Amino acid sequence: MAGAVVVCTLLWGGVGEPARAGVVLEAYFAKRSYGPGQRVPLRISGGSGPVEVQLFRAGGEQQATRADNTMNGVPVTPVKVVQPSGQGWGRVAVWIGRWPSGLYFARLRSADGQRAFAPFVLRAAPRHRARVAVVMPTNTWQAYNFRDGDHDGVGDSWYASERVRRVELARPFDHRGVPPHYRHYDAGFLRWLARKRHPVEFLADDDLETIRDAAQLARRYRLIVFPGHEEYATAHAFGLIERYVARGGNLVFLSANNFFYRVIRAGSRISRSGRWRDIGRPEARWIGVQYVDWFQNRYASAPFVVVATRAAPWLFRGTGLRDGDRFGGYGIEIDATTPLSPPATHVLARIPDVFGPGKSAEMTYYETPHGAKVFAAGALDFGGSALQSPVTTLLENLWTRLSRP
């Protein structure tokens, strides 16, 4: 088995933010993504006694993740033991093997029974790139991370307090290191993709910043999939994907509330800078839909109602769905078309009035004269149901249509 965790002395103190009193076991990687064949630092704090460290690839596991504070996967390294010595944040060297691109994580177990997780995206080597990219919502994961690193009783996120203006990207996640809502929004799609064995390259949001322009992006990828809650985008990422569509690139959005807020990146921190639509760049112009509302802890999820199979008969092939049929149960946050949606946008399915009169979720698809094909699910948790019928067939049909020349 290629790659292994190197057993070494942990270097303690002076690394990252203050530790949590050396009690709670936590860990994180300084970057959101790495290339294969690298030696990278895993930062660890807390626990008691020796700590076991093992790396896993998410998605290939046989059993679904059943708790919000855990991650399941297929091991890619043997278990190694490191011996903490002292207080504060320490570092242990981790060798990343030449494994397939994907979402990976370190799982840690301390002598006092604690577990912690530290996820990272593994990019593909340039010569092994696929024509399909899957972008994990790493900015949004951290925006919803309520971890209280400075111990002031308030989570270090603008969702916890209006006083918080910036979010740190290089830090552990709350709930033992698992990204927020991972089980509901992300794990199902990752398991679907692992079962289908479609060749893809995984990217973090950071990786979009390294791509010069839409021409370079289009040369690399025929299709870009945003499987999760891609709410926060820098000016570079927003313009890059918008121009990618204009050049004929294909997009799939399996969540809702995508490219909603503009963020400014400074080092390893992001800060919000208003909604894209408020500065004259509404996301519906190229996604087809845009954010409407959230469920406000009042409205239950509801099924999609199919309304236009004739607009995309290839999508519904093999599902048995006809106009008027219902499937699934979705909501949480929803998108819908606007007068600024591309003229060719078709509403394929709708959750009528899911958040009250006039607030319906809309699943859409459109094509452009330049050859772009864009699908948007319109509900936040659609991608998480990837292994459920008929969604698994819908996704396979989408993949077939949009990933091929």
Strands (DSSP E) found in 352-397: 361-367, 373-376
The CATH code of the domain at 132-144+180-403 is: 3.40.50.880
Residue 214: per-residue pLDDT: 98
Q: Determine which of 4-13, 256-265, 334-343 has the lowest per-residue pLDDT on average.
A: 4-13
Tell me the per-residue pLDDT of 305-344, one tens digit each, with 9 for 90 and over: 999 999 999 999 999 999 999 999 999 999 999 999 999 9
Residue 6 confidence class, pLDDT cut points 50, 70, 90: very low
The arithmetic mean of pLDDT across residues 200-213, rounded, is: 98
Q: β-strand 361-367 against 346-351: which pairing, if any?
A: antiparallel
- Distances in Å between the Cα of 358 and the Cα atoms of 7, 323, 350, 362, 372 are 59, 21, 12, 12, 30
Residue 46 confidence class, pLDDT cut points 50, 70, 90: confident
Residue 64: per-residue pLDDT: 81
Residue 364 pairs with which residues in a beta bridge?
347, 376
Tell me the per-residue pLDDT of 51-98, one tens digit each, with 9 for 90 and over: 999 999 999 998 888 888 899 999 999 999 987 655 678 889 999 999
Q: Where are the domains of the chain?
A: 11-119, 132-144+180-403
Quick check: helix, strand or coil at residue 74?
Answer: strand
The arithmetic mean of pLDDT across residues 377-392, rounded, is: 97
The answer to whether the CB of 271 falls within 8 A of the CB of 167 is: yes
DSSP annotation string for 253-279? E-SSS-S-EEEEEETTEEEEEEEGGGG
Q: What six digits make up the tokens of 343?
A: 């003229």
- Distances in Å between the Cα of 383 and the Cα atoms of 190, 373, 393 are 9, 18, 13
Residue 84: per-residue pLDDT: 66
Residue 127: per-residue pLDDT: 87
Polymer length in residues for the chain? 405
CATH 2.60.40.1930 fits 11-119, yes or no: yes
Residue 48: per-residue pLDDT: 75
Strands (DSSP E) found in 46-130: 51-58, 73-75, 80-82, 90-95, 102-110, 115-122
Provide the mean pLDDT of the chain.
92
Residue 8: per-residue pLDDT: 36
Residue recorded with tokens 């060719």: 344
The arithmetic mean of pLDDT across residues 371-375, rounded, is: 97
Residue of 273, 271, 270, 128 lying closest to 206 (CA atoms): 270
Cα torsion through 333, 336, 342, 348, rounded to 10: 100
The pTM of this model reads 0.93
Q: How far apart are CA 331 and CA 2, in angstroms?
A: 42
Q: In this model, does residue 393 exceed pLDDT 80?
A: yes
Q: How far apart are CA 51 and CA 25, in angstroms?
A: 9
Q: What six digits make up the tokens of 176?
A: 């033992």
Q: How far apart are CA 329 and CA 81, in angstroms?
A: 44
